[in-house]
Amino acid sequence: MKTLVFGHKNPDTDTITSAIVYASLKQQMGLDAEAIRLGEVNGETAYALEYFNVEAPRFVERVAEEAKDVILVDHNEPLQSANDIDQVRIVEVVDHHRISGFQTAEPLYYRAEPVGCTATILNKLFKEHGVEVSKVNAGLMLSAIISDSLLFQSPTCTEEDKAAAAELAAIAEVDVNEYGLAMLKAGASLAGKTAKELISIDAKEFSMGVHRVEIAQINTVDVQEVLALRSELLAEMTTSVSEKNLDLFLLVITDIIKSDSTGLVLGLSEDKAAKAFEQNIIDQVIPLPGVVSRKKQVVPVLTEVLG
Amino acid sequence: MKTLVFGHKNPDTDTITSAIVYASLKQQMGLDAEAIRLGEVNGETAYALEYFNVEAPRFVERVAEEAKDVILVDHNEPLQSANDIDQVRIVEVVDHHRISGFQTAEPLYYRAEPVGCTATILNKLFKEHGVEVSKVNAGLMLSAIISDSLLFQSPTCTEEDKAAAAELAAIAEVDVNEYGLAMLKAGASLAGKTAKELISIDAKEFSMGVHRVEIAQINTVDVQEVLALRSELLAEMTTSVSEKNLDLFLLVITDIIKSDSTGLVLGLSEDKAAKAFEQNIIDQVIPLPGVVSRKKQVVPVLTEVLG
Ligand SMILES: [Mn+2]
Ligand SMILES: [Mn+2]
């Protein structure tokens, strides 16, 4: 029986490419591993996959129907994983996020580092196991680092991420800035997307104490273009809040050029969000100056107040 | 401010030596780290420390009074950690147990592998960071592997543990079998110990679903000698059950020569324990044939029924 390798729901480039690359490393080490995905491939990731001529992993809804053992990359929180994650055995995790709600009955391999991207850890694992990085795998890992670090601008980006990216760019034979900007722009193109699509491209659910919080992020080069859809976005967020019983829905609209964000916020805990960020909410809009990283600048701040 | 490095309560040899050795590695990497302990050093560990001429780490009850950042070795479950663990920031974990109840607000360095001993992972970390292993550190890591694997007899022992032990024995310049047996015998000497001491030498608390379970282990060369104290042991276990509100207390008495165990079991969930091990409990005694590893042969079996 195959071991399935997958990242989080509403997959981003790191989640998709890390699943592909880690499955490839495990295969080269003799394990019958297959990368799968839990959701749609976004525009940015599609650009990277096409550029390096790699097929997207297969979509799987219920992992327990296909596997006993699974490997998680780029996430660990059950709310962000397969709906039936409690019915399989998690044998490995490679991740760079906080650990929350994660539980196993037996010892496992867990590798987390506080770096900007899962791919930076994967690049180390190739070395530790003495496996050479192929051109395609290098290109995919590079894409993940560019994506998670917003081309090295995010505060989550470490020297290790930069060094890994430089190494991988040499193997992949691409110009980091040129390729990176083109890839980010492919993801930032919001043309033709509905409000419902916009709030779910990059959405993650978190449990913070007794609260259930959804934080979605949109990368754009034109925040006003997104805010023009304010009422439609809020309507979709309202639906999500009631359907998923959320205490808070925060949509972070990030200007990838200015490295700045504006939030739309909704839910019973919205005054706590105001308190957390020390900002006033006016017409559901909350300024998030200097914020570009959900992981480093949003989740810990909200957890402090809600957790 | 120092970063404190420590293992679990009721420390065993792996917990004490891993704290010492990892603090030493971190110091050599430039971090102001100090190993501490959360409980008494047992007879086996004392033998190892004396043999390699190392002082026991300092006892600390409340870690938050001394540190902001801490590093956990050989455990992750809050019930087994410092009582005020929720008041400090866990920046690293190096462990080889299941993950349960562990929670952080921020990303961290987490290194777990399903090997028999924390020291086996530490031995890798020295190599990954290019730091040489001193004779003393080698002796301490070797002691941990011998202890956790019961001189390579435990089912938790992997080829990696054996290889690490052979490497470390060469650096430490000791004969593994001769040193190992002497060390284990030092720990298995129960002479002069009260029933209360016996049930707490190597006790760990676990949360399994809604249940609170304590599993203590005694290594001995004479199970009957321990069972002769049956009523005193049960009296102390009864006190523990009511004081800590336990659903189950299981005392595993392990014959380190025959690699076999006998359990004393107490609490509202004792019939569930009988079901879990498919054994009858007679006069609070449960046969545990072939069991030597709490981690691999006790915790998962009980979690299956109680979790
Ligand atoms: Mn990521
Ligand atoms: Mn251990």
Looking at residue A217, its pLDDT comes to: 96
Structure tokens at A176: 């980091």
- Nearest Cα of chain B lies from the Cα of A20 at a distance, in angstroms, of 22
- Nearest Cα of chain A lies from the Cα of B87 at a distance, in angstroms, of 12
Nearest CA in chain B to A86: B307
* CA distance linking residue A269 with residue B147, whole number of Å: 50
Measured in angstroms, how far is the CA atom of residue A187 from the centroid of ligand 1? Answer: 15
What secondary structure letter does DSSP report for A86?
G
Is the pLDDT at A76 greater than 90? The verdict is yes
Q: Which of B101, B113, B300 sits opposite A106 (nearest CB)?
A: B300
Ligand that comes closest to the CA of residue A8? 1
Nearest CA in chain B to A301: B105
Structure tokens at A281: 């909410």
Domains of chain B: 3-188 (3.90.1640.10), 195-306 (3.10.310.20)
Q: Which residues of B touch A (CB under 8 A)?
A: 96-114, 128, 295-296, 299-300, 303-304, 307
Looking at residue B190, its pLDDT comes to: 84
CB contact under 8 A, B101 and A101: no
Terminal-residue alpha carbon distance, chain B = 39
What secondary structure letter does DSSP report for A273?
H
Measured in angstroms, how far is the CA atom of residue A148 from the centroid of ligand 1? Answer: 6
Q: Which of B108, B303, B304 sits opposite A112 (nearest CB)?
A: B108
- Nearest Cα of chain A lies from the Cα of B229 at a distance, in angstroms, of 32
Angle value at C-alpha A30, between A29 and A31, nearest 5 degrees: 105
Question: A154 or A192: whose pLDDT is higher?
Answer: A154
Measured in angstroms, how far is the CA atom of residue A3 from the centroid of ligand 2? Answer: 27
Measured in angstroms, how far is the CA atom of residue A240 from the centroid of ligand 1? Answer: 24
Task: Compute the CA torsion angle B148, B154, B157, B163 (nearest 10 deg).
Answer: 80
Sign for the pseudo-dihedral over CA of B256, B216, B118, B133: negative
CB contact under 8 A, B104 and A105: no
What burial class does residue B129 get, using C-beta atoms within 10 Å of its C-beta: 0-12 exposed, 13-18 middle, 19+ buried? exposed
Nearest CA in chain A to B106: A98
Q: What mean pLDDT do residues A35-52 have?
A: 97
Token pair 């033709």 in the structure block, residue: A192
Residue A249: its H or E element: strand A248-255
* CA distance linking residue B37 with residue B73, whole number of Å: 11
CB contact under 8 A, B112 and A114: no
How many residues in chain B?
307
CB-proximal residues (5 Å) to ion ligand 2: B 14, 74, 118, 148
Q: Binding-site residues of B for Mn(2+), please?
A: 8, 12, 14, 74, 96, 148
Inter-residue contact A46 to A57 (CB < 8 Å): no
Looking at residue A226, its pLDDT comes to: 93
Looking at residue A79, its pLDDT comes to: 93
Measured in angstroms, how far is the CA atom of residue B185 from the centroid of ligand 1? Answer: 49
Q: What is the pLDDT of residues A51-62, one digit of tens each?
A: 999 999 999 999
* CA distance linking residue B254 with residue B251, whole number of Å: 9
Looking at residue B307, its pLDDT comes to: 85
Please list every residue in chain A whose beta carbon sits closer than 8 Å to the beta carbon of residue B98. Answer: 104-108
Mean pLDDT computed over every residue of chain A: 95
CB contact under 8 A, A112 and B107: yes
Inter-residue contact A252 to A281 (CB < 8 Å): no
Q: Which residues of A touch B (CB under 8 A)?
A: 96-114, 128, 295-296, 299-300, 303-304, 307
Q: What mean pLDDT do residues A280-289 have?
A: 96
* CA distance linking residue B209 with residue A33, whole number of Å: 31
CB contact under 8 A, B109 and A110: no
Burial A45-77 (b: 16+ CB within 10 A, else e): bbbbbebbebebbeebeebbeebebbbbbbbbb
Looking at residue B221, its pLDDT comes to: 86
Inter-residue contact A286 to A274 (CB < 8 Å): yes
Looking at residue B268, its pLDDT comes to: 93
ipTM value greater than 0.90? no
Please list every residue in chain B whose beta carbon sits closer than 8 Å to the beta carbon of residue A114. Answer: 106-109
The pTM of the full predicted model, rounded to 2 decimals, is 0.89
* CA distance linking residue B214 with residue A192, whole number of Å: 58
Ligand that comes closest to the CA of residue B122? 2
Q: What is the pLDDT of residues A140-189, one digit of tens each?
A: 999 999 999 999 999 999 999 999 999 999 999 999 999 999 999 898 88
Read off the amino acid at residue A180. Answer: G
Inter-residue contact B110 to B38 (CB < 8 Å): no
- Stretches where chain B sits below pLDDT 70 are none
CA atoms in the 13 A half-sphere facing the CB of A136: 12
* CA distance linking residue B9 with residue A109, whole number of Å: 23
Band (A221; pLDDT cuts 50, 70, 90): confident
Structure tokens at B120: 């086996």
Closest by CA to A116, choosing from A175, A83, A159, is A159
Contacts 24+ apart (CB under 8 A), B247-250: B247/B211, B247/B212, B247/B213, B247/B306, B248/B211, B248/B212, B248/B213, B248/B214, B248/B272, B248/B273, B248/B302, B248/B306, B249/B213, B249/B214, B249/B215, B249/B216, B250/B213, B250/B214, B250/B215, B250/B216, B250/B286, B250/B298, B250/B302
Nearest CA in chain B to A294: B106
Burial B152-169 (b: 16+ CB within 10 A, else e): bebebbbebbbebbebbb
CB contact under 8 A, A107 and B128: no
Q: What is the pLDDT of residues A7-32, one digit of tens each?
A: 999 999 999 999 999 999 999 999 99
Looking at residue A1, its pLDDT comes to: 87
CA B222 vs. chain centroid, Å, equals: 21
Please list every residue in chain A whose beta carbon sits closer than 8 Å to the beta carbon of residue B111. Answer: 110-112
Question: A249: which strand partners?
Answer: A214, A266
Looking at residue B231, its pLDDT comes to: 95
